[in-house]
Amino acid sequence: MGDKNITGVLLERQLEGLQGNRWKVHVQVVVRGPLGNALAVYGEEEMPVWRARVLLKCLDFAYHAGPEGIAGLESPEEEIGRLVQSEVHF
């Protein structure tokens, strides 16, 4: 496991720890950091499935925080579809 993988896993663990309190305004502010950092770590080319997983977490977060919670992401659902299709070559 490389440094990027470890960093990404740690960021996702932080997100899991905050899951139960997603509805709190202060937690919503905190969650944006690890989400953005995880997306920066999981590149589209190198780790498409991991990136898609974080994008799904972004959509889940947007459900609780509202669309402004994922401001800056163009359209997570389209990127997820593209990433999954690019990875489907079993």
Query: Residue ranges per domain, the chain?
Result: 3-87
Q: Are 22 and 61 in contact (CB under 8 A)?
A: yes
Q: Which residue has the higher pLDDT, 17 or 25?
A: 17
The tokens of 60 are what? 């889940």
> Is the predicted pLDDT of residue 90 greater than 50, yes or no?
no
Mean pLDDT, residues 74-78: 76
Q: Which residue has the higher pLDDT, 84 or 71?
A: 84
In whole angstroms, give the CA distance from residue 84 to residue 48: 7
Interior angle at CA 64, CA 62 and CA 70, nearest 5: 20
Mean pLDDT, residues 3-31: 87
The tokens of 35 are what? 């989400």
Q: Are 15 and 42 in contact (CB under 8 A)?
A: no
The tokens of 13 are what? 């663990």
pTM: 0.79
